[in-house]
Amino acid sequence: MVVRSILARLAKKAPVPVFLISGIGGDEITDRLRLDDRLHVTDSPRPAMILMIAGRLTSDLKYAALQVHDQMAEPRAVVRWSPAERDPAAEVFPHFVAVDAVAAAAAATLAAAAVNTRDDLLAGSFPSSPPLLPDVEPNPWRGVGPWGQGGTGMTGGVPYGRPLPERAKDRDGLQLDQLLMRVGPFLPALPEGLILEVRLQGDVIQDVTVGANPFVEEAVPDSEEEELPAFPGPADLAPFLASLRVPVAVAELELARARHHLRWLGHALRVHGLAALGRRVLALSARVHSQGAGSSNALGSAEVVELRRSLERNFTLAWATRGIGRLSGDQLAALDGGPVARAAGIERDERCADPAYLALGFKPVVYAGGDALARWRLRLHEAEQSLRLAETAGNSMTTVTGTAEGPTGPLGRGPGPSSRLLPLLPELLTGLEWGDAVTTLLSLDLDLREAALTPPGSGVAPAWAW
Amino acid sequence: MEGGAAALTILVVALGAFLILKGVGDVLNPPRSTAPSRVPFSGGLSPDTHAWNRYHVRYYPMALLFLAFDMEMVFMYPWAVVFVEEGLIALIEMLMFITILLFGILYTWREGAFRWS
């Protein structure tokens, strides 16, 4: 008991190890949680003590959440916040700490609840959450196979209940094994909600299948009379979606764009191993958020200029992104504009058609490389440009409705930018090494919540049908 | 014998430390694992195939090259011992040896052995 209490006292002094899961309406809250000093956000559920769920889980996401929960070591607990009254997560987690707060205060309340729950777990006054999935091997050991193979050893039978990989020719013509790997929707290195089925030989991708969007279920309107989808989409997009219907302040749009690019940059830096810098950038994006529209100065553009300069001097980052993930001409044409196309030299931006922007002297930022490096640089440049536009725009309002240039591409003309990018992934990622594939995915800035705003086509397989 | 006793002591102490730490850990937090908790974390999905698989070790030409040039260094040690006595002749002989190896590098380079992927 003495040892336990000493260890518990020491553990209470450390930040709470949490694994974050972001559902619908939780995208901005998880960013704020990453900035909270009381928490240590882990990249794997293994070292985490608290499973923190921000937002509402769809039915597809809840099974993955259960798997993540069971992969955490005990003692463990679930702390969740949901914007909705009805939440499927509540039905699958029998014991959890529910946080009741408005969205603006959710992050701080969640962090406080995580600290309290951790302390209670260590003191033994809060029971550890039991395993929730059945303790059954998916493919039990079958021993000696029908052709006499197997039994014992590395090449025998179905070790640990799973068959050995299939074989196929590799790029040198050798007949080698293909490792089938399913990743997502909660892998921190990938865009939230993205599910990929990847066949690997060594670390080279031979084939990619993109899984169904787990957020799609919620995008279907309840009835045909409803004008807007039941699912509001990512918080970043709100002003851009509003500008499709009514005039919106240019400053508000540009602040939202800068914030989106900085949030993207913060996540991308974290995945590239620059976690401390990523955290600083996330903090900067949160400050841009708190400025609001109409502020005349101190929007952080000077800091963004400095950040851009320092990142352009970063040889490691340039080395990791140069020449990676280039799109072909046909693929770029399918995008119909957006930052990814502008990073490949295509000067297309919906803002050029808006007199309000032209009056501010707006010219789209265009880069020539077309690779991941060009996309990084373009977004940094656009973030800086957007903050400058927000500073000078005053009370200027947009004059064009029906279409808008969102932070990831054009909105209001058919499928959204991420919906256009997702079908390109198999061709784009095949042949890349896994690390380069992650770099490419990051540089595309895919948003599965935004893709879910486009009504799903018929015949889409659910994410769990594999 | 003294060395053997010391090694045995280290082994016993290390083994004892391991057993004590593992025992205390297991008493404080008894290990419990279920089938879903044993699968590798890949973002909330479980794998269908096992991760044991054969793949092309692309760095093997580099390992071979390292061995070749490592042996070259082995030849250089006795050469360095007699270098002062032999003088210019030894220098010329070593230059010939290095030149032959240099052609080997250029050939390997042309064949693409230094390309990682």
Tell whether B89 is covered by a domain: yes
In angstroms and rounded to an integer, the radius of gyration of the C-alpha atoms of chain B is 27
The size of chain B, in residues, is 117
Q: What percent of chain A has pLDDT over 90?
A: 45
Tell whether A214 is covered by a domain: no
Confidence of residue A277 (pLDDT cuts 50, 70, 90): very high
Report pLDDT for A151.
Answer: 53
- Judged by CB atoms closer than 8 Å, whether chains meet at B44 and A67 is answered as yes
Tell whether B40 is covered by a domain: no
Q: Nearest Cα to A351, choosing from A318, A400, A309?
A: A400
- Whether A308 shows a pLDDT value over 60: the answer reads yes
**Does one domain contain both A117 and A249?**
no
- Of the partner residues A44, A154, A195, the one whose CB lies closest to the CB of residue B52: A154
Assigned token pair, B75: 């030849």
- Judged by CB atoms closer than 8 Å, whether chains meet at A4 and B37 is answered as no
- Whether A146 shows a pLDDT value over 80: the answer reads no
Please answer whether residues A52 and A18 qualify as being in contact, where contact means their C-beta atoms are separated by less than 8 angstroms: yes
Question: How many Å lie between the alpha carbon of A23 and the closest alpha carbon of chain B?
Answer: 14
- Judged by CB atoms closer than 8 Å, whether chains meet at A165 and B53 is answered as yes
- Whether A52 shows a pLDDT value over 70: the answer reads yes
Assigned token pair, B86: 């032999």
- Interface with chain A: mutation pick from B20, B26, B37, B58, highest number of A CBs within 10 Å: B37
Tell whether B53 is covered by a domain: no
Instruction: Indicate left, alpha or beta for A144 from its phi (over 0: left) and psi (-120 to 50: alpha).
Output: beta
Tell whether B17 is covered by a domain: yes
Confidence of residue A163 (pLDDT cuts 50, 70, 90): low
- Whether A249 shows a pLDDT value over 80: the answer reads yes
- Judged by CB atoms closer than 8 Å, whether chains meet at B53 and A177 is answered as yes
Tell whether B43 is covered by a domain: no
- Looking at the structure of chain B, the number of domains it has is 2
- Judged by CB atoms closer than 8 Å, whether chains meet at B55 and A187 is answered as no
Within 41-60 of B, beta carbons closer than 8 Å to A belong to 41-56, 58
Tell whether B104 is covered by a domain: yes
Q: CA–CA separation, B100 vs B69, rounded Å?
A: 12
- Of the partner residues A65, A179, A183, the one whose CB lies closest to the CB of residue B49: A179
- Whether A160 shows a pLDDT value over 90: the answer reads no
Look at residues A77, A100, A123 and tell me which one is the last residue of a structural domain. A123
Name the residue in chain B with its Cα closest to that of A63: B44
Confidence of residue A141 (pLDDT cuts 50, 70, 90): low
Confidence of residue A405 (pLDDT cuts 50, 70, 90): very high
Of A108-112, A186-190, B7-11, B25-29, minimum mean pLDDT range: B25-29
Kindly report the average pLDDT of chain A as a whole number.
Answer: 83
Contacts of A430 (CB under 8 A, 6+ apart): A205, A206, A207, A208
Assigned token pair, A135: 């303790």
pLDDT in tens, B99-111: 988 888 888 888 7
**Does one domain contain both A242 and A112?**
no
Report pLDDT for A145.
Answer: 58
- Residue B102 burial class via C-beta count within 10 angstroms: exposed 0-12, middle 13-18, buried 19 and up: exposed
Query: What proportions of chain B, in percent to the nearest 5, are helix, strand and coil?
Result: 70, 0, 30
Confidence of residue A274 (pLDDT cuts 50, 70, 90): very high
Assigned token pair, A420: 């256009």
- Of the partner residues A3, A44, A466, the one whose CB lies closest to the CB of residue B41: A44
Question: How many Å lie between the alpha carbon of B52 and the closest alpha carbon of chain A?
Answer: 7
The sign of the dihedral angle between the CA atoms of B4, B9, B14, B18 is positive
Alpha-carbon distances of B52 from A138, A153, A175, A312, A322, rounded to whole Å: 17, 12, 15, 41, 32
Assigned token pair, A152: 């014992």
- For tokens 């240039």, the residue is A405
Confidence of residue B3 (pLDDT cuts 50, 70, 90): confident
Report pLDDT for A96.
Answer: 81
Q: What percent of chain A has pLDDT over 70?
A: 84
Question: How many Å lie between the alpha carbon of B41 and the closest alpha carbon of chain A?
Answer: 7
Assigned token pair, B15: 């083994």
Confidence of residue A400 (pLDDT cuts 50, 70, 90): confident
Which has more pLDDT, B58 or A461?
A: B58
Q: CA–CA separation, B56 vs A179, rounded Å?
A: 13
- Interface with chain B: mutation pick from A46, A181, A196, highest number of B CBs within 10 Å: A181
Which has more pLDDT, A54 or B60?
A: A54
Tell whether A64 is covered by a domain: yes
Confidence of residue A161 (pLDDT cuts 50, 70, 90): low
**Does one domain contain both B27 and B66?**
no
Domain extent for B75: 60-110
pLDDT, average across residues A159-172:
66
φ, ψ dihedrals at A51, nearest 5°: -95, 115
Q: How many contacts does A have with B, using Cβ atoms within 8 A?
A: 122
Name the residue in chain B with its Cα closest to that of A4: B28
Look at residues A371, A386, A413 and tell me which one is the last residue of a structural domain. A413
pLDDT in tens, A413-438: 778 889 899 999 999 999 999 999 99
Report pLDDT for A169.
Answer: 78
Domain extent for A73: 2-123
- Cβ contacts of B24 on chain A, cutoff 8 Å: 3
- Interface with chain B: mutation pick from A21, A51, A135, A174, highest number of B CBs within 10 Å: A135
- Looking at the structure of chain A, the number of domains it has is 2
Q: State the CATH number of the domain containing residue A14.
A: 3.40.50.12280
**Does one domain contain both A271 and A399?**
yes
In angstroms and rounded to an integer, the radius of gyration of the C-alpha atoms of chain A is 24
pLDDT, average across residues A434-463:
75
**Does one domain contain both A249 and A371?**
yes
**Does one domain contain both A251 and A116?**
no
pLDDT in tens, B63-83: 878 887 888 888 888 899 988
Report pLDDT for A237.
Answer: 86
Q: State the CATH number of the domain containing residue A298.
A: 1.10.645.10
Tell whether A429 is covered by a domain: no
Look at residues A107, A123, A139 and tell me which one is the last residue of a structural domain. A123
Tell whether A282 is covered by a domain: yes
- Of the partner residues B44, B49, B58, the one whose CB lies closest to the CB of residue A64: B44
pLDDT, average across residues A103-115:
87
- Judged by CB atoms closer than 8 Å, whether chains meet at B52 and A159 is answered as yes
- Cβ contacts of A175 on chain B, cutoff 8 Å: none
- Cβ contacts of B55 on chain A, cutoff 8 Å: 170, 176-177, 179, 201-202
Report pLDDT for A296.
Answer: 44
Please answer whether residues A76 and A48 qualify as being in contact, where contact means their C-beta atoms are separated by less than 8 angstroms: yes
- Whether A158 shows a pLDDT value over 70: the answer reads no
How does A286-305 read in b/e, with b if 16+ C-beta sit within 10 Å?
A: bebbebebeeeeebbbebbb
- Whether A154 shows a pLDDT value over 70: the answer reads no
- Cβ contacts of B52 on chain A, cutoff 8 Å: 154, 159, 164-165
Total Cβ atoms within 10 A of residue A193:
28
Report pLDDT for A460.
Answer: 38
- Cβ contacts of A201 on chain B, cutoff 8 Å: 55-56
